[in-house]
Amino acid sequence: MRRCLTAFVVLFLLAISPVALLAQVTKNPNQSVDQHAAAPATKDEVEALRSEVAAQQETIEELKTMVQRLAGQQASGEPQLVNAMFVQSQQGDKLPPASQPPQESKLVPGKAPKTSNNLEWTVAGTTVQLYGHADVSYDYVDNGITRAIEATNPLLTQSPNIVGRANNGWLGQLSSNLSYFGVRGSHKINNYLTGIFQFETEISYAATPGSTSDNQCKYCLGSRDSYVGIKGPWGAIKLGKEDAPYKRVLVPLDPFYNTIGDHRSIMANSGGDNRAEFEGRLSHSIWYESPTAHGLAAEILFSPGQNRSRDDGAYARAEPNCTGGNGVFVMSFQNQANTAEGADLYSLFGPDINPCNDGAWSNAVSAAVTYKNHGLYGFGAYEHHGSVNRTTDLVGVADEAAWRFGASYTFEKTGTTGSFIYEGLKRYAANTVSAIDGQPVKFPALDERTRPLATMVVLSQKVGQKDVLSADWIHAGKSPGDPGQCVAATGGLCTAFASLSGVPGTAASLVDAVNNQSNMYAFGLRHTLSKNMSAYFVAARQANHADAHYDLGAVGHGSVVDKRDFTGKGFAGTRLQGVSGGMTFNF
């Protein structure tokens, strides 16, 4: 009853306030006439007065609704819950729009949050928000496998069950591009601490959800960025899984993120396949996010290897697949990896262990520093993977690292934005044993994981209020070597290591001879349909040199345009291309 009485009093006061306001204006007509004669009321002043009266009338209607609800709840004996849109959040934090990255924004204590379209509510002091992102496109793509390239696959020309079945070249497809759904929330503990949580999962709009190439469950709850933690004026500490800082700094500069022109076709991708080792989501991690000061911010993340195998050949503890996403750990009587646990490489007695042997790492560290102010955005980032297990290493494991620097500037008057990014990749490996003295030696002809140079140039132009034209060029420099090309050129000499003398025709002569450079070009238009929805068109082309095997739309695009035929065989030197049109919706 007391709440109803209070609400009626507030309602009465607000109801008479417009009358009082008008009465004050007309209290002294003569004075009013004199004032208007001296300084006529402007259109803005009249509109401001009308807006104020309209706002108060809207508030009255809202309070009427509240009073009716309270009266109904008292009559029925139901718990008296109040819509979070009209009541100040107890923890003083309001969650950001769903279209933004999962970072919490702060409200000034003592001020009620403004109404919004966010799907959020507050119960018992905890604010919870539902959010999501939908991205679906229709693509018309070419995998670059010509008749001449197709003829190099014996299965396509000799197998009775396969001859004539290949469907290479142009193909139409629908793709769901890393669409997701999530729940995030916060609860104020005290003036210095706020508890936060989030769980997020990928959603497949176009294809039927099912198993993947390994044991991970992409469409299970918590498959994407998920964590629990605390935050305050000092920053935030979170535990769970998250896109690494090394990845997060570049995403804002890519206008073709998750399209067929996604930068991960080359950037952070050391092998030239559908796997960008240095732009992944790092599981079982703990990380710190600093507050922003004068445009500067920093993040650092640590992910322990938690692997019971010394060479990281097994699954990390509690994980369903190999760290780095490089295959499935199995028991096999035919070992095809490096030195097996419990058996030598050439053991005739099994079973040997076929481990996670192509990219599985131990401890990982990722860090980044960003600056954003006055139209300028700049960053520096570094990521280190310890004890990485590769098939090219016959003498153990080796560390791998990546670093990148970038800058972007927006000219506000013209709506023009230009960006440049540099990246380097390094494998610190002694990747073979000398046939002369049996000592570990660096054999560059096998090293495709070291890439000293990759660059990305982006130009975007705003056209009107709703359209943005963008173009980019990404270049992958050559690596010292490539295991596949080395073996193909020497008939197995690369793995036998019978000679390291550098005599023409031997494996050593292949050092720096591999031609695996590549260039990716993309052009597109994005049109804003509403605050939550947009449409886009993208055209992209991946021009691989003779020994390169980069994919188009790697990692981010739902239906990757790769250089493989339907038997699964991959080909180097392909020219992949395509056009794509799609829509996005954020809530």
Average confidence score pLDDT of the chain: 78
Q: Are 462 and 415 in contact (CB under 8 A)?
A: yes
CA 139/CA 143 separation, integer angstroms: 12
Best CA proximity match to 85, nearest among 65, 57, 108 = 65
* Residue range 234-258, pLDDT digits in tens: 999 999 999 999 999 999 999 999 9
256-273 per-position pLDDT tens digit = 999 999 999 999 998 887
DSSP designation for 267: T
How would residue 92 be classed by pLDDT, with cut points 50, 70 and 90?
Answer: very low
pLDDT above 90 for 311: no
In terms of Cβ atoms closer than 10 Å to its own Cβ (0-12, 13-18, 19+), residue 303 is buried
Instruction: Give DSSP secondary structure letters for 372-428.
Output: EETTEEEEEEEEEEEEEB-TT-SS--EEEEEEEEEEEEEETTTTEEEEEEEEEEEEE
Count of other CB atoms within 10 angstroms of residue 134? 19
What does the pLDDT average to over 312-332?
73
Closest among 144, 150, 221 to 182, alpha carbons compared: 221
Beta pairing partners, 476 = 454, 518
Looking at residue 166, what is its pLDDT? 80
pLDDT at 346 over 50: no
Say what the pLDDT of residue 69 is.
Answer: 67
Q: Kindly state the DSSP code that residue 181 receives in the 8-state scheme.
A: E
Q: Looking at residues 221-233, what average pLDDT do you find?
A: 94
Under the banding of pLDDT at 50, 70 and 90, the label for residue 328 is low
Domain spans of the chain, in order of start: 2-80, 128-586
* Runs of H (alpha helix) within 424-579: 483-490, 493-496
The yes-or-no verdict on residue 525 having pLDDT over 50 is: yes
pLDDT tops 80 at residue 227: yes
Cβ atoms 60, 16 nearer than 8 A: no
For residues 355-381, give the mean pLDDT: 93
Which of 43-52, 289-298, 422-431 shows the highest mean pLDDT?
Answer: 289-298
Q: Say if CB 533 and CB 132 are below 8 A apart.
A: no
Convert the pLDDT of each residue in 205-225 to its tens digit: 998 887 766 677 777 888 899
Alpha-carbon span 186 to 126, nearest angstrom: 6
Q: Per CATH, is 128-586 categorized as 2.40.160.10?
A: yes
Rounded CA-CA distance 24/35 in Å is 14
pTM over 0.95: no
Confidence of residue 71 (pLDDT cuts 50, 70, 90): low
